[in-house]
Chains A and B, each alone.
Chain A
Amino acid sequence: MLGESYMRRIGVFVCHCGVNIAQNVDVDALTTYASTLDGVVVAKQYKYMCSDVGATLIKGSIKEHKLDGVVVAACSPRMHEHTFREVVNDGGVNPYQLEIVNIREQCSWIHSDRKKATEKAKFLVRSGVAKAKLLEPLQTSTLKVTPNALVIGGGIAGIQASLDLANDGFKVYLVEREPSIGGRMSQLDKTFPTLDCSSCILTPKMMEVANHQNIELFTYAEVADIEGSIGNYTVKVRKKPRYVDIDKCTGCGDCATACRLKDRIASEFDMGMGKRGAAYMPFPQAVPLKYTIDAEHCLFITRGKCGDKPACREACAQKAIDFDQKEEIVDLKVGAIVVATGYDLLNPESLYEYGYANSPDVITTLELERLISSSGPTKGEILRLSDQQEPKSVTFILCIGSRDETQCTWCCRIGCMSALKHVYLLREKLGDDVEINVCYTDIRSYGKGYEEFYRNVRGLKTNMFRGRPSEVCNMGDHQKIDVFDTTTNKLFEIKTDMVVLVPALVPRADAGDFARLLHLTLSGDGFFLEAHPKLRPMDTFVNGIFIAGCCQGPKDIQDTVSQASGAASRAATILSKEELEIDPLIAVVDEEVCTGCGICVEICPYEARILNEKTKIAEVNDALCTGCGACIAACPSNASIHRNFTKKQLLNMVDDII
């Protein structure tokens, strides 16, 4: 190998990047210097090497100088490595015999001394040439794609992604852990800023999911395990027993009426304010329109006895109630996955100063949604929970736990707008005499039509206090709030009948476990991390798995739906291909050297490693390996090799600059 490196014909191409590089690096001197390096037969420079002209320059030089390796000194390989691989490939050099030297992010942008920056650029180029001399030509391999998609989570994000993919002609499995799809949006009354009725716009989409020939719906089910890789995942879905045969159930509701626990269990859908039975449907527009028996409460399941005979079973004319149902595991084969698992709301009890735990008249926005909703526990009447009276005064407190160093540092992005929406609706329902106060940090009305909505609401006799209350005190028949308003620099004491807290949006409680199951990465806030915040916002670091909606971070319905369509489109990019190319820049095992200790198997974050028990040699699953390099660093024997990042190549880079 060493002998061959003397024979290499390397071309070096220095990019000015306009003035981005040229103003801090002497590109003339750098190009001249590059031409003197061992193995380099030509060095050229151009203002924008990534342009067509630059590409032509590289391709022409490859031909003219019979190059067998190319070094491009330009921006980060994350920007244009792919571009230049195509260029050298077109020119006739193996695309993996290209080395990018980053003299922009790692040099010109971060130094101000032109002379020293030029010297550093020379070192970087010398090191890049040293590696280029040892780069090996690599070939991509291919694998067949299963043209089915899995969508996890049946909220508006999952619904939108499923419909898009199904309409593209792909088979979609939609898995939802609750008895019905619909998610958080189904709990909302109206949506800002247009005040559309939430269920009026959501229900048609839910019905479309239910009736779509390409969508297979798994409700009351969870993803239990996942194997395989992009193009070919095998997913185990655990279907929880709902003790109702959904093929027989007509959704008539006789079971719920008969249930001995009717109206005795707090309804999750109504935020615990309404009641349901053990045989129940979460809300009237549920999809599927099927009943479920809550195993946690059902007398027959928990105690083995429900009167003489289970009342629901007796009541069901369809004989759909089946207490012998068992948990079932279904294997699904899919090529791509969209994760849309949504969010939780911060429990305001963790901020005791706001008194959520002290009074039933301190509620959250989601609870108010249910109170306002005509299908909610009060049939749309706004009543205090303590005395069932209409409040004469309502106070909203925004940013409960949001933008708070001790709780959630981030902005929930929907709090301001949802509070303003409620102000509008309350004014509409309760009339002009009701006092409405809003304690805010900043009003963030950034979306289309949001600012206009805000101005509108301010005009509705709304008292706006810019400040976070220090305390909410339960005075029995009313709540007392101390708030320092930073626009008037005055301390106010507000006496109010009802307090509505706008809590932070937080990751699902089990987001961490779920991330481990799918090998996703979490960002610092605990939401799923996208592969790039700007350029790959729906991708994850696991190829073939995409994220949409609030599981990636707080966002409103508009953004959620856009992102869901985006994620569906990203998934379709994979599913629409018969075969996928596999990047050859991944790990391989030197079988002669591997001792079979298995450290790489334990350490691989992507389960791309297995130990062959017969040969006692570790193997790499090419489709799963992302080339992250963890196994390379961990292998004490140097048997784990990252193609074109071998120890020899890297040492050569270092050796050449010290």
Chain B
Amino acid sequence: MEPKILKVKNGDVTKTINEFLKELLNSGKVHSLLVPQAVPSKKMVFPVLISDSNQLNADVFAPLLPASTARIISKMTKFQATKEPIGVVLRSCQIRALVELVKLNQANLENIIIIGVDCLGTFSIDSFVNFSEGKTPTEFILEAFKEKGNSSDKYLRSACCVCKDPIPTNADITIGVYGVDLDKEVLIDVATKAGEKVIEDLKLDDTKSVKEREKSIKTIREEKTKKRTEFVKEKRSINGIAALSEFFDKCINCHNCMTVCPICYCKECLYDSSVFDAEAYKFLRKADRKGLFKMPNDSLLFHLGKMNHMILSCVECGLCEQGCPSNIPLMDVFIPAAENAQKEFDYHPGKDPEEKIPMIVYREDEYLEVGEK
């Protein structure tokens, strides 16, 4: 289907999109919508599941990712696919995470309509809640975007600064802003039959050309890739046991990075179990051998274990870093490690739902003897 546009009224992009979403809800083509919307205190924006269009006041561009939306969809659909269609508004990183969860049998996309939003980046929770530029963070980031300036960069989380790709892939419908004159219009790009079915009754205008958008997407992807390459190059030096131990010095073993990770899907983490408890004599023997050793003793092991489990599916959303109460810049190790590991297996998390996770794929060259080419 050719891309459509929404005409922006009075320069209010957020309101225009809300009217579109309301129409969607009222058309009955979706039973409910999962959208980011301000909580009553107005301080935070969280995903809400809405079936009453009168209560809809979504803030799809709010620069905040308080929790993994992919994980929320997993919770709703893992045991049974939804019978009623649900429209879910997601950023690109959360679509990637959702695709990974589907591969891991942790979510079911039947009757889930993915409405992707071009992502302008997100702020840390602190920056968002205590925003003091005299306007809301959403207004601020939209204006910065329209002016093509970089005034919002200083607020962006590090994961967003070096984002793999802010343009949604695998969305049924995409709300596009890159390469679009936001004063006049917002792009509605429909990529799937399911998406077409949802908007078929809505009266949307055709767009004249998407060339500008294609150009803009190419530019933003190139920019992000360049930044990411530099970031990876710079952070690669955090390597080896000594450097990693120092890197995780501030870790208080709260395992919050694991709790907020959209991919980490175990019901109970091995590191939360009693597997590492042991008789005192073993600890004493270790103390005897080394003279001293740091307690708790499994924090680095935990991080390496978590990395080992998750790195191939890491979509680089940065929620682990945002969740760390000790402000450990986790992306500094996770992004370079993800880059290396995913390249090694030629794996692209979140890109293609049909691409199998490397764990279950056998390649002939994996059978080579050591030293054999």
Main SS of chain B's interface residues?
A: loop
Beyond A616-B105, A656-B282, whether A603 also contacts B277 by CB under 8 A is no
Which residues in chain B, 232-255, are within 8 Å of chain A measured between CB atoms? none
Beyond A616-B79, A616-B105, A637-B266, whether A602 also contacts B360 by CB under 8 A is yes
Q: List 7 A-B contacts (CB under 8 A).
A: A594-B267, A599-B359, A602-B360, A603-B360, A637-B268, A638-B270, A655-B278
Complex alpha-carbon distance, A505 and B282, angstroms: 58
Asked if B106 is an interface residue, CB under 8 A from chain A, the answer is yes
Measured CB to CB, the nearest residue on chain A to B310 is: A636
* B binding-site residues for A, Cβ under 8 Å: 78-79, 104-106, 265-268, 270, 273-279, 281-282, 286, 289, 309, 356-357, 359-360
Interchain CB contact under 8 A, A611 and B266: no
Complex alpha-carbon distance, A651 and B356, angstroms: 31
Complex alpha-carbon distance, A593 and B266, angstroms: 7
Complex alpha-carbon distance, A602 and B104, angstroms: 11
Interchain CB contact under 8 A, B268 and A597: no
Contact with B along A627-658 (1 / 0, CB 8 A): 00000001011100000000110011001101
Interchain CB contact under 8 A, B267 and A597: no
Beyond A616-B105, A636-B309, A652-B278, whether A599 also contacts B360 by CB under 8 A is yes
Query: Which chain A positions have C-beta within 8 A of B78?
Result: 596, 616
Query: Which chain A positions have C-beta within 8 A of B277?
Result: 2
Complex alpha-carbon distance, A638 and B274, angstroms: 12
CB-contact partner of B104 in A593, A597, A648, A655, under 8 A: A597
Complex alpha-carbon distance, A199 and B309, angstroms: 62
Interchain CB contact under 8 A, B266 and A596: no
Complex alpha-carbon distance, A655 and B297, angstroms: 12
Interchain CB contact under 8 A, A638 and B273: yes
Interchain CB contact under 8 A, A2 and B279: yes
Interchain CB contact under 8 A, A647 and B266: no
Complex alpha-carbon distance, A647 and B276, angstroms: 9
Interface residue tally on A, bucketed by range: 20 to 34
Beyond A596-B105, A598-B105, A616-B78, whether A647 also contacts B270 by CB under 8 A is yes
CB-contact partner of A597 in B265, B289, B356, under 8 A: B265
Complex alpha-carbon distance, A593 and B276, angstroms: 17
Query: Which chain A positions have C-beta within 8 A of B265?
Result: 595, 597, 636-637
Asked if A38 is an interface residue, CB under 8 A from chain B, the answer is yes
Query: Which chain A positions have C-beta within 8 A of B282?
Result: 655-656
Which residues in chain A, 274-308, are within 8 Å of chain B measured between CB atoms? none
Q: How far is the CB of A132 from chain B (nearest CB, A)?
A: 15
Interchain CB contact under 8 A, A637 and B267: yes
Asked if A592 is an interface residue, CB under 8 A from chain B, the answer is yes
Interchain CB contact under 8 A, B105 and A597: yes
Complex alpha-carbon distance, A638 and B191, angstroms: 39
Query: Which chain B positions have C-beta within 8 A of A638?
Result: 266, 270, 273, 275
Query: Which chain A positions have C-beta within 8 A of B268?
Result: 592-593, 637
Q: How far is the CB of B356 from chain A (nearest CB, A)?
A: 8
Measured CB to CB, the nearest residue on chain A to B306 is: A636
Question: Chain A CB within 10 Å — which of B266, B270, B286, B356 has the most?
Answer: B266
Interchain CB contact under 8 A, A647 and B309: no
Ranked 4 nearest A-B pairs via Cβ: A602-B360, A637-B266, A597-B104, A636-B309
